[in-house]
Structure 1
């Protein structure tokens, strides 16, 4: 279903309010559906002409245009922002691409590719860290955002020296969730070892270019394409920050992308749910990327958030993506990005393909809150809600068998039962006992209403599973069946119980 104009205006106002509240100088956003980017825009300033330059030192001699040497630039959906940890989805996709080509085993130890990586494990256990463990944030390494976000430009040799000097785990690898940037820096090194290319070059050539994305790892110089400057709040206003990178830690958060292009990337990942084989990575691998591979501990709402979103039923990490199971909407995929000068979030709903991308140019501005509210608005929109209500259609065999079982419940026949029921049913409860239980259930609802009782309130939550009701003289019976997975259509379960009673059998 198309995203309505009123919904687009409401989403734009969400981000406009954040700019008015001076959470960030500028903001860029994009909405997408199954047909691509549906709406996009920008608010505020991607560059402030009056801001002063901070005293942060460039790393490894790298320096891009700071706010003081660039003119004012309005934000829009085509200006490049640092997308920070949204980059991790590119890193994970690169590894799946190499896996699909037979170049890497995700269960191989990371040390096979990076020999200097030999972390201390609690209890001194021998627990090698695999590529898959790092992809799912279960490699045992500690959370390291504050430090790692400043290390992007670290060279390969310097990184190897850091590892050789010693690194330690906080949990036994493969046993618990713990968000680790070092883990994804290591994965970037695995990409290099396996592909023979630099990490950034591989991702740009194999993923970004084939999809036609306006994205890159090095900050563009000059004004073409336009790039936002990142800021932090100082005592006298916004302070422009220098760009870093690229380097070993680019694999954790080094991508520059426009809101429009990041939305195209997220929409392409989401298209795997409907079997779209366009692009360099198969639909099956994109679905694998979006599965919940490691459950994370429950989240508590931020103490300064006056209107927190409902907590997901369960959440955790896939491959380079956060996976949430929302009680209202089902699976939602996302990733946030926080970097000196930037905040990013991409978020989409698996079943409908509806999603949002939001970018801001202020340090850890938590634009995720705006994006969460925006996606909720999309999903609560009247048109959007209809798109979520794709009915589950029972197999024709399920309907045929259920009709026969309804007749069997009214008038039992061993011969008819043999035609409808799988071999396990009589073994689980012999026909004589089953027939007696059905007769007892009819007695509890005042007896049979007729030889051809009409099915009522039929529900289906899977093509092989039906629940329905038959009315007696003084109540109803609840009937339930589930077919075997074999073609041909036979019931492996047949339950008849008084409505409201605990179903047995």
Structure 2
């Protein structure tokens, strides 16, 4: 009977995921940190979250909040598994640099040296090469996404992705702006496979997971449940090299401590010290248009933290990390090598995001009393393009701001209408700064190399980010007017029963809005997607207008008359003819 009771206790312990958390921090620090995450759970903004903090080579605190599986009453803890989404890109970048160490490749080389069948057309440059180092920092000019197959029951092959890209064109010039590109990191995953001789999954397992003891981490296996709109869902697979890793905070702590220790771990070395330095180098200054929020490194974002000492002196240190989001999961890690500290935050809920940066600063301030704050760094002053104030006559015209169109018909005041809401832009000064009083938002117009651009300006910190640009000629043509109507995808990859980002039956509608071509992509699960406007490039091509993420992708007409967009081939509905 006693043996049966022990067995039952062990079974129950495994079901609830019981584990001893690490805790060697002050009681006051623990109380402050726990209150933040417990509040998320209590307000039902998150179902489950886990965190870990590393300091000077060891985990000093870890904990879980809420449930990893609410329906089975399995509590979240430091061993709970989460999808880490685009945090995977840090592993992809490190893998490439490890292969470079072994002279298998050079990040300075063009990608076509290793993938010669990649022939996507570049209308911006005479040099048709796409450089690996630019892909690593999202500055290559490649399109952002190939949505078809990115989340799928059976993922497309990398060969299919390459063929899909070859039907597209480059979205922007090289080193024009940081524009997050998932397809770029898909190509890097293919590069890893070609030069290592094994699959991406095998390489990560053998070269990173196994040495670091990341025994609970995997790629596209045993995907945990997530929560969308307070309902449990199972997400589809995602292409491995852009977001396929599942992990927990303890395993991620080992990865983070290895980076902090410049490639070393207790029993060996993952990479050379020089390799980690190369990975962490901020390369923002090479870019024509630079935003202030963060710098670009290889598979890492770079920010600065400053500390106000008692003697009023200030010291500034670099902070590195990467975030990752899927439809329901959020992941984020940040570390400061100079202090040997770092944190990781994982969540299984669409509304459950808490930044690792805020947790790290809270730890430094509560535990170490360092009075740490995020620095405001004017990276735009380092950009390659020279910025000036446009004339008032240059200001007038039509702009794409995000995925919206704005008509600037008056220098003093203009407006943007979104549904039933109208945002009024009111001029503040002769530097062409504007405020939207209803939203307490601030914008300004700048001219860089004959382009008129829109920047958002934080009313709290003064940080600036590029969010829009002037569009000179965006009028519809008769050839594109003849194609207006509704279309259905004939080559969509199945997402099975996925409750979100399911494009098994993708649809597209082309419409004319205020004289401009607009495309509305619709998923089977009716997800909220951008509805971009297009500038006509020719009888058979049109390009999304705008700047940065979710812009630049081409809409093409194939030889058979079907449309091609984001990897989908669309055939016109017969009812629309």
Partner of 2:228: 232
Question: TM-score under structure 1 normalisation?
Answer: 0.62
Q: Are the counterparts in 2 of residues 214 and 257 from structure 1 also a CA contact under 8 Å? A: no
**Against the structure 1 CA distance between its residues 386 and 22, is the aligned structure 2 distance closer, same or farther, given a 3 Å change threshold?**
closer
- Which structure 1 residue ranges, 4+ long, deviate > 4 Å from structure 2? 145-149, 273-277, 295-299
Partner of 2:44: 22
Q: In the alignment, is residue 377 of structure 1 matched against residue 362 of structure 2? A: yes
Shift of 1:326: 3.1
Q: In the alignment, is residue 347 of structure 1 matched against residue 334 of structure 2? A: yes
Q: In the alignment, is residue 74 of structure 1 matched against residue 75 of structure 2? A: yes
Structure 1 residues without counterparts, runs of 5 or longer: 50-70, 222-226, 300-312, 389-505
Q: Are the counterparts in 1 of residues 124 and 172 from structure 2 also a CA contact under 8 Å? A: no
Shift of 1:5: 3.4
**Against the structure 1 CA distance between its residues 273 and 96, is the aligned structure 2 distance closer, same or farther, given a 3 Å change threshold?**
closer
Q: In the alignment, is residue 330 of structure 1 matched against residue 317 of structure 2? A: yes
Shift of 1:386: 9.6
- Post-superposition CA distance 1:46-98 (Å, at most 9, x none): 1121xxxxxxxxxxxxxxxxxxxxx3321111111101111111001101110
Q: Report the Cα distance in structure 2 between the residues aligned to 1:148 and 1:315, rounded to whole angstroms.
A: 30
Partner of 1:261: 251
Q: Report the Cα distance in structure 1 between the residues aligned to 2:183 and 2:171, rounded to whole angstroms.
A: 13
**Against the structure 1 CA distance between its residues 181 and 280, is the aligned structure 2 distance closer, same or farther, given a 3 Å change threshold?**
same
Q: Report the Cα distance in structure 2 between the residues aligned to 1:18 and 1:145, rounded to whole angstroms.
A: 34
Higher helix share: 1
Question: TM-score under structure 2 normalisation?
Answer: 0.54
Partner of 2:463: none
- Post-superposition CA distance 1:311-362 (Å, at most 9, x none): xx66221110101123444211121100122110001123202111000012
Higher strand share: 2
- Post-superposition CA distance 1:13-57 (Å, at most 9, x none): 2122122222221001111112221110101111121xxxxxxxx
Pick 1 or 2: higher relative contact order, CA cutoff 8 A, min separation 6: 1
Partner of 2:275: 285
Q: Are the counterparts in 1 of residues 342 and 360 from structure 2 also a CA contact under 8 Å? A: yes
Q: Report the Cα distance in structure 2 between the residues aligned to 1:208 and 1:251, rounded to whole angstroms.
A: 14
SS of aligned partner of 1:385: coil
Q: In the alignment, is residue 358 of structure 1 matched against residue 358 of structure 2? A: no
Q: Report the Cα distance in structure 2 between the residues aligned to 1:355 and 1:216, rounded to whole angstroms.
A: 19
Partner of 1:9: 31
- Post-superposition CA distance 1:222-242 (Å, at most 9, x none): xxxxx7411211xxx413123
Q: In the alignment, is residue 96 of structure 1 matched against residue 97 of structure 2? A: yes
Partner of 1:32: 54
SS of aligned partner of 2:262: helix
Structure 2 residues without counterparts, runs of 5 or longer: 1-23, 308-315, 374-577
Partner of 2:237: 244
Coordinate RMSD, CA, aligned: 2.8
Shift of 1:187: 0.4
Q: Report the Cα distance in structure 2 between the residues aligned to 1:186 and 1:219, rounded to whole angstroms.
A: 18
Q: In the alignment, is residue 213 of structure 1 matched against residue 235 of structure 2? A: no
Shift of 1:145: 9.2
Shift of 1:374: 0.9
Partner of 1:138: 139
Q: Report the Cα distance in structure 2 between the residues aligned to 1:333 and 1:39, rounded to whole angstroms.
A: 20
**Against the structure 1 CA distance between its residues 120 and 219, is the aligned structure 2 distance closer, same or farther, given a 3 Å change threshold?**
closer
**Against the structure 1 CA distance between its residues 129 and 384, is the aligned structure 2 distance closer, same or farther, given a 3 Å change threshold?**
farther
Q: Are the counterparts in 2 of residues 336 and 344 from structure 1 also a CA contact under 8 Å? A: yes
Q: Report the Cα distance in structure 1 between the residues aligned to 2:150 and 2:35, rounded to whole angstroms.
A: 30
Shift of 1:251: 0.4
SS of aligned partner of 2:60: strand
**Against the structure 1 CA distance between its residues 145 and 294, is the aligned structure 2 distance closer, same or farther, given a 3 Å change threshold?**
farther
Q: Report the Cα distance in structure 1 between the residues aligned to 2:343 and 2:148, rounded to whole angstroms.
A: 29
Q: In the alignment, is residue 321 of structure 1 matched against residue 300 of structure 2? A: yes
